Amino acid sequence: MVQRVHVRGVPAATNAGLDPMGTTAARIVGTNVAKLADFDDTVKIWVHEELVDGRKLTDIINTEHVNVRYLPGHKLPDNVVAVPDAIEAVRDATHIIVVLPHQYIQHLLDTVHGSILPNASAISLIKGIGISDQGMTTMTQLIHRTLAIPVSSLSGANIANEIAEEKYCETTIGCQDPDEAIVWRSLFNTPYFQVNCVADVIGVEFCGALKNVVAVGAGFIDGLHLGNNTKAAIIRIGFLEMRRLAMHIAGGGIQESTFMESCGLADVITTCYGGRNRRLAQEFVQTGKSMPQLEKELLDGQKLQGYLTAGEVHSYIDSCGVTDHFPLFTNIYQICYENKPPHTIFAGLNVDFSRDTKTPSPAL
């Protein structure tokens, strides 16, 4: 039996600004720590300062308890305190929650490095992964490399606004240390946000990153006005290519069963029916505009994760000479980057995945 760990800490959700998930996480964790004896009551969140109608966003959050810019309409508990200084947010924190678009992460780490407690630990909610022909770097690896503290991961079928509306969902925490897993679970678990813990930090991150490529494929299907059968086929094949790719890159470092958790199966489904990766891919087919153009027009110039990851994935599988084993990822790449027509997504998809698991079954 695992012993309950006694921690007195200050959970800090960083960068509640740019992403509604940061504020959503702070809302959950703030509500939970107020009831937990083992934590300080205050949750400091770093908010990238900006002016909203002439007022500082941090001031609005701290007086009206709503992040009017990134999670309007959802009250935060009073114990969530916004600070514009990242160093102030993490100082004295034993538990640091990292949420921001992954292109900003290294700068943040360089800023706070040297200001964190030596016994702190972190959890990453960042979607995205660095894959290149040199291999891959996950966000937890990047954070660990700079901060030299234990880093866990959290990912799931978690569209932020739906969580804020307290609609039932699940999430997955990847954490190597069983004691720490209990602590992270106590910070995040609520009746409407059900946490499952697995001892597979990287597997959880792979799921969160690769599902966006599948969602681009699903968006193409919607853009082509095909039906439920077709979309389900693309989701199925995409899910199995995700698992195959993660196993190819990380081998024994990833557990097959992680793909059946919320971060895997459920998140692929959510992302292929909702979410902006699907939506932009649909626009891509229907308007004939390029992805960079759509990013500019519809995402305020932000990068579309699935498009970016499709490129990184292709660079990796191409350098390994295994594109034949990933026909869907290859087709999605060629449609996004090489002007192949969207209906070529179906080329060569009849792949046998039945031998991918550790307990292969004799397919014919």
Q: Which residues are catalytic?
A: 211
Neighbouring C-beta atoms of residue 324, cutoff 10 Å: 10
Least gap, CB of 48 to a second copy (angstroms): 26
> Is 293 annotated for ligand binding?
no
Between CA 122 and CA 147 the distance in angstroms is 9
Residue 339 or 361 with smaller CB distance to a second copy: 361
Enumerate the β-bridge partners of residue 98.
14, 124
Whether the CB-CB separation of 81 and 72 falls below 8 Å is answered with no
Provide φ and ψ at 268, rounded to 5°.
-60, -45
Q: Which is nearer to a second copy, 37 or 364 (CB)?
A: 364
Residue 87 or 260 with smaller CB distance to a second copy: 260
The CB-of-27 to a second copy minimum distance in angstroms stands at 15
Calculate the alpha carbon distances from 281 to 111, 277, 285 in Å.
35, 6, 6
- CB nearer to a second copy: pick between 67 and 158: 158
| Least CB distance to a second copy at residue 330 (A) | 17
**Cα distances (Å, whole numbers) of residue 131 to 91, 108, 126, 156, 206:** 32, 21, 15, 21, 10
* Token reading at 75: 């009250």
**Residue 302 annotated as lining a ligand binding site:** no
Q: Is 305 annotated as a binding residue?
A: yes
- Residue type at position 328: L
Report the length, in residues, of the chain: 364
The residues, any chain, with a CB within 8 Å of residue 201's CB and separated by 6 or more, are 138, 140, 151, 152, 153, 174, 175, 176
CB atoms under 10 Å from CB of 357, counted, come to 12
Using the minimum distance from each CB to a second copy, give the nearer residue, 218 or 336.
Answer: 218
Calpha distance 26→354 (Å, rounded):
41
Exposure class string for 107-143: b at 16+ Cβ within 10 A, else e: ebbeebeebbbeebbbbbbbbbbbbeeeebebbbbbb
Taking Cα atoms as reference points, which of 173, 165, 161, 160 lies closest to residue 192?
A: 165
Does 231 count as an annotated binding residue? no
* 3-class DSSP assignment, residue 264: helix
Q: Closer to a second copy at the Cβ: 46 or 223?
A: 223
Least distance to a second copy from the beta carbon of 296, Å?
26
Token pair, residue 286, equals 């229907």
Q: Please indicate if the annotation marks 358 as binding a ligand.
A: no
Interacting residue ranges for a second copy, rule: CB under 8 A: 2, 156-159, 162-163, 165, 167-170, 175, 178, 181-182, 194, 196-200, 226-233, 235-236, 239-240, 255-258, 260-262, 265-267, 269-270, 273-275, 346, 349-350, 352-354, 357-364
The least CB distance from residue 315 to a second copy, in Å, is 27
Q: Are 67 and 57 in contact (CB under 8 A)?
A: yes
282 is in an annotated binding site: no
Smallest distance from a second copy to CB 12, Å: 24
Enumerate the known binding-site residues for NAD(+): 160, 276, 303, 305
Enumerate the known binding-site residues for substrate: 127, 276-277
